Structure 1
Amino acid sequence: MATTRLDRTLVVDTALRLLNEVGLEGLTLRRIAKELNVQAPALYWHFKNKQALLDEMSTAMYRRMYETYGDLGDVTWQERLIEVHRALRRALLGYRDGAKVFSGSRFTGTDHAGPQEEHLRTFVAAGFTPSAAARASFIAYSFTLGFVIEEQSVEPRPGERAPGYDVTEREERMAAEGYELSAEVSADLFQDYEARFEEGLRTVVAGIEATLAPAGSR
């Protein structure tokens, strides 16, 4: 077998490209090694296991996400929270199973701390304590990650729909069994994710305003 000069960046870039083809379940170190035309043990010099690779992939996804919004300038905490999590959703949707890869992974460096520091400063300037700012951010992050995991279970990639999520078929099946309200909400549950995300994110922001935000920043 021919050899390829490996480094971590090449492995991660290859893994992210393959992710769109085979999904998280099909992404194995052996499959990546085959794509790189090397023996599988060669990858273990760089990543001790699949989770270590997923951690590096998530770090690369975050870096690319940050490049899409960069410096937001002088914005309110509400605007920052919305823009950052819009960018996160876009980044996750850029990869098949992107949200599952991101979930539970650990960043492999500290370069994310710069954007995080800037993010927290916006909240603190509005009167939040650092602790309340962190909790508010985590709430929005958890909503976004969970939303995209569900979204990608129905639409793994833009324009692609997983089997079993035909809205019309679900409406007819529920109605035929007498579940009229369940039939009526089929479209609300399984399509138009862009609008649903915006609605949900603004609901999260409103909830944070009502529970964690200092009165002067609402």
Structure 2
Amino acid sequence: MMAERNSDRSGRHDRDSVTTTALRLLDDVGLPDLSMRRLATELGIQPSALYWHFDSKQQLLGAIAERILSRIPLEEHDEIATDADVLSAARSIRDALLAYRDGAEVVLSSYALGFGVDRTQARLRSVLQRRASIGADVAATTLLQFVIGHALLVQQRLHAESLGATHLVGDDTTGDVSSVFDDGVMLFLHGIDAAAKRPEDHSEV
């Protein structure tokens, strides 16, 4: 009976249900307190049983990151992407990151180790391929890093404010999130447009 409990072969939990519970626990207690032991207690199993589903905590965080980003829709359009199309894609990622406590930090840590963001990267690559004649892979990576970084900054400041920390002097990232974010995406797009036109301009000189 104990061997069955430790391996979690009883069928009470699977990878999907463990991830669901971990995401709920993340929202309740935050990333610093999301330990494998605490998750196992929540599930009513031994901590060692979790490794039947995930080889490491980082792999679990990768699954959580995928779940956080799973609400982002994949597009199925062929026409040239407008500013609004790219902005909508970027906003959908930002909103997914901000929907969960410490969501941006979880996704960032997973992204740094190559987990959890393939679907999201594909979403940005798809819309940017319809936008520019230059490398969409590099553009998608750059835009994704901006979105994650912005969301992480917002969450960190919101957390500091919730603890009563003095508000930082300077740009008010939490006070006008949409404006700061949208301006950043537009600056990025203008740079992409300029880079796409530069080879033609250079050949005409």
**TM-score exceeds 0.5:** yes
Counterpart-to-counterpart distance in 1, 2:27 and 2:94: 16
Answer yes or no: is 1:155 the counterpart of 2:158: yes
The 1:10–1:150 alpha-carbon spacing in structure 2 relative to 1, beyond 3 Å, is same
5+ residue gaps in structure 2?
A: 200-205
Q: 1:191 aligns with which of 159, 175, 188?
A: 175
The 1:138–1:15 alpha-carbon spacing in structure 2 relative to 1, beyond 3 Å, is same
Return the letter of the residue paired with 2:22: A
How many residues align? The count is: 188
TM value normalised by structure 2: 0.77
Partner of 2:75: 71
The 1:82–1:63 alpha-carbon spacing in structure 2 relative to 1, beyond 3 Å, is same
Q: 1:50 aligns with which of 52, 57, 60?
A: 57
TM value normalised by structure 1: 0.73
Partner of 2:89: 84
Return the letter of the residue paired with 2:152: I
Counterpart-to-counterpart distance in 1, 2:69 and 2:104: 12
Partner of 1:178: none
Give the conservation status (yes or no) of the 8 Å contact 2:107–2:117. no
Answer yes or no: is 1:200 the counterpart of 2:184: yes
Give the conservation status (yes or no) of the 8 Å contact 2:19–2:60. yes
The 1:198–1:137 alpha-carbon spacing in structure 2 relative to 1, beyond 3 Å, is same
Give the conservation status (yes or no) of the 8 Å contact 2:86–2:127. no
How far did 1:20 drift?
0.9
The 1:28–1:137 alpha-carbon spacing in structure 2 relative to 1, beyond 3 Å, is same
5+ residue gaps in structure 1?
A: 171-182
Partner of 2:26: 19
The 1:125–1:205 alpha-carbon spacing in structure 2 relative to 1, beyond 3 Å, is closer
How far did 1:39 drift?
1.2
Counterpart-to-counterpart distance in 2, 1:109 and 1:202: 23
Return the letter of the residue paired with 1:161: S
Give the conservation status (yes or no) of the 8 Å contact 1:92–1:98. yes
Identity %: 31
Return the letter of the residue paired with 1:79: A
